[in-house]
Structure 1
């Protein structure tokens, strides 16, 4: 038995032991956990040494993929996905990257930088090695084609050339995606704080990003993006509680967009808006810390299993929780965003038992395990704003991991249940992207967006939310944090009698 096989056997044994001693949370316990104002601000204190050791092993395997087969050795750019060469197994073979996989985008580049920092924090790389890896990414970003300091949506990982689509030709007039550049900016900001020797290079790139260019001052929101040669997208980012809030954070933090952007974002859509529930709540008026004006906000909520929460569009945990991996929402906004992160994660757990009726929970966009294996929007259907089709038949491990720093004990129980129920989802490179929970069918590939999310979540879970500290220590925190700390959402307590 070789060393790798011994590690696999030991990890599976530990997982089985954890699953045997940590039962999934019962439905009424989800309610109980949401009944008071307690928000976890130090997840590490809620995990045992054995659980922390297991999570570190997961991170080590995940980093083995991200830092090896998951990155192009020439450009140092992360690949969007890595396919298996055969069926899922305890030890898998990877397929060589084809042109269909040799692309990346700004979100992946930014999150890969953050994963490098997490690898340093977790002791998976020495500080010098991690800095060298971040420096290689920095050098490549400096060479990539840009528009007003922003990256375009897609790039070839083999040449670094901007391309028109993931499998497309070189672009003539590219598209600037606001949310993708938000995730890029957070990665550069995190790396600048973690590696002071590189701060000047990253800061120059951050300074060049003209967030005012993407700001719709008339509606007080950010545009979804800008198509060079054609103009702004028709859509804007109107909802606060979604993954694109990372771009709002960076725009306000940069000082190039007024903080009043905060009040242009809806907590829930208006009651007359087409949506899955009619939100309840109340109006509150706040005084803006920058311009001194008063803004009245409808702080609405949805309800599931008596738990009140501000919803995401597709009932996605990535949209809900990913920004909280790098911005300390639990500590800075415990009465609003931090509590909503908790309630959303708890509602996902309750939905797994009462709605989807699956043995595990955690829904986000992921690879379909069947058919053409397309990347598909999955969500907790009844928790979504979207009245259209929101399938809940596929669970993604990265969503389960994102809940770890938010609700550590039930999230860890869910993760161990996931691996115990579907053991071939876990191999020497970490966890495959998705599982069809009712049939056990696994998606035979890894997605960089999910792998980087797992690295972020584990770093926070085992290192006292250390990853969040880099943003908190940056100059972007001072203009932003007063907005995060002001509000008290209408999500406190439970709805109705027990």
Structure 2
């Protein structure tokens, strides 16, 4: 039994084992897997030695970028992107960083720390602790507000700036979700490198999460403009990337645990959305205050697979938090199963909806035009009724599925690289490909590369990366909430 499984076995016992149900007659492989209520909590045994070897190679190549040209040597901060100097090829040249690329943000810094921990786990860097220490020292120097970092920083000077490529600021914006990803990175690195624990913990203790809590709505604000006011928007949906902020806020003890019940599993039926959710109300007793809370546990359906949707049909929004928090093991009846069903529904959508053969949609670089960072999603899996383009696949989204549905996800990655071989080079995988034309985005994005490192570490090391958060200071208050629910997503819709 590995470290993660020892840490969470008691919490899993609270929910009971994931009971398998008899699979009905089904007509495709995605439904076949979804029909069984089993959730994979250790992906490594589901992959062959050759598959694990390939994933280690991907990790090695990705770390070559992240530990070298992907970091500004002046500050030890990760660059948001790295451009190619020429066309995509099996071996590529990188363009020198320009002023347009020399910026970063709190989420990138946090995920870079997590990638450093992954590199240690994978045996890729004998100086991983030194790299984490350099980032720690830099964070300690960065301008802050109530313990939070501002949205953007120059990687050459470490100054807070008003926008990417912008001027230094006096009053910056505090982004809730960006600081949550920073916090998880500091928790992870603090556990991965015990010599640095105290330094990271001091920074974590300084983050005043109650400042970002909207008590009236029982949700978190999207952020706060220093010198102004809170954002008009709040984080209302449970199943999205910003749930990492809810995890951190509850785990910190500075926000009441009943924040958990302020989040919608799906929007209300009368809310403008792509499907009208089915489901039922369930009542739970809060682990902290003991009060009963009734929530609607709804779901959408695609290819007879039931799932709780993200706003934009994004794999990153769905699965990135599960790379660092053990949702599969702690919440096999709810979030863990939904991770699995979402990944399977994305696969089905690739086959039947987008007809791309391969799958993996998240925000990524547009391969054409001015190569802007653009939101992509599995259109029919999104809450958003507006335009959700599905013409571009991003490898990082494909890799996020590997710890969740390892066999199907590895097959998808194999097809992706076979179909678009120039997407893979000595620095790992380029950020995106236009599926119909094979046009590749000629750059690497730090947010995507760090996600690949997280996924690879979990896939080849029995979810070891999740074990750092499980051993950290936020688990005690947070984990009882993860273990409670049973979503309305079990089995398939309709007869086989």
The TM-score normalised by the length of structure 1 is 0.94
- Superposed, 1:17-96 pairs within 5 Å as 28-96=28-96
Counterparts of 1:152 and 1:65 in 2: how far apart (Å)?
A: 26
Alpha-carbon shift at residue 27 of structure 1 (Å): 7.0
What is the match of residue 329 of structure 2?
A: 331
Counterparts of 1:33 and 1:359 in 2: how far apart (Å)?
A: 18
What is the match of residue 363 of structure 1?
A: 361
What is the match of residue 395 of structure 1?
A: 393
Counterparts of 2:469 and 2:256 in 1: how far apart (Å)?
A: 19
Secondary structure of 1:406's aligned partner: coil
Counterparts of 1:86 and 1:131 in 2: how far apart (Å)?
A: 34
Counterparts of 1:171 and 1:204 in 2: how far apart (Å)?
A: 25
1:349-379 CA-partner distances (Å, limit 9, x unpaired): 0000000000210000000000010000000
What is the match of residue 486 of structure 1?
A: 484
What is the match of residue 216 of structure 1?
A: 214
Counterparts of 1:101 and 1:350 in 2: how far apart (Å)?
A: 36
- Superposed, 1:393-472 pairs within 5 Å as 393-472=391-470
Q: Please say if residues 43 and 408 of structure 1, whose CA atoms lie closer than 8 Å, have aligned partners that are also in contact.
A: yes
Query: Mind listing any 5+ residue stretches in structure 1 that lack a counterpart?
Result: 1-25
Alpha-carbon shift at residue 173 of structure 1 (Å): 1.1
What is the match of residue 133 of structure 1?
A: 131
Secondary structure of 2:72's aligned partner: coil
1:45-85 CA-partner distances (Å, limit 9, x unpaired): 10000000000000000000000000001100000000000
What is the match of residue 11 of structure 1?
A: none
Counterparts of 1:432 and 1:57 in 2: how far apart (Å)?
A: 15
Decide which of 471, 490, 494 is 1:473's aligned counterpart: 471
Alpha-carbon shift at residue 212 of structure 1 (Å): 0.2
What is the match of residue 269 of structure 2?
A: 271
What is the match of residue 246 of structure 1?
A: 244
Secondary structure of 2:57's aligned partner: helix
Query: Mind listing any 5+ residue stretches in structure 2 that lack a counterpart?
Result: 1-25
Counterparts of 1:464 and 1:175 in 2: how far apart (Å)?
A: 38
RMSD: 0.7
Counterparts of 2:148 and 2:164 in 1: how far apart (Å)?
A: 18
Secondary structure of 2:78's aligned partner: coil
- Superposed, 1:226-245 pairs within 5 Å as 226-245=224-243
Counterparts of 1:170 and 1:240 in 2: how far apart (Å)?
A: 35
Counterparts of 1:240 and 1:156 in 2: how far apart (Å)?
A: 32
Secondary structure of 1:486's aligned partner: coil
- Superposed, 1:140-289 pairs within 5 Å as 140-289=138-287
What is the match of residue 119 of structure 2?
A: 119
Counterparts of 1:73 and 1:167 in 2: how far apart (Å)?
A: 18
Deviates more, 1:298-307 or 1:27-36: 27-36
1:311-360 CA-partner distances (Å, limit 9, x unpaired): 00000000000000000000000000000000000000000000000021
Counterparts of 1:274 and 1:167 in 2: how far apart (Å)?
A: 36
1:207-262 CA-partner distances (Å, limit 9, x unpaired): 00000000001110000000011110000000000000001000000000011000
Counterparts of 2:188 and 2:467 in 1: how far apart (Å)?
A: 9
The TM-score normalised by the length of structure 2 is 0.95
Alpha-carbon shift at residue 167 of structure 1 (Å): 1.3
1:283-313 CA-partner distances (Å, limit 9, x unpaired): 0000001001000000000000000000000
1:448-495 CA-partner distances (Å, limit 9, x unpaired): 000000000000000000000000011210100100000000000000
Counterparts of 1:222 and 1:53 in 2: how far apart (Å)?
A: 41
Alpha-carbon shift at residue 196 of structure 1 (Å): 0.7
Counterparts of 1:143 and 1:484 in 2: how far apart (Å)?
A: 35
1:165-200 CA-partner distances (Å, limit 9, x unpaired): 011111121000000000000000000001111011
Misfit runs of 4+, over 3 Å: none
- The answer as to 2:349 corresponding to 1:354 is no
Counterparts of 2:489 and 2:56 in 1: how far apart (Å)?
A: 34
Counterparts of 2:221 and 2:269 in 1: how far apart (Å)?
A: 23
Counterparts of 1:292 and 1:75 in 2: how far apart (Å)?
A: 47
**Number of residues paired by the alignment?**
471
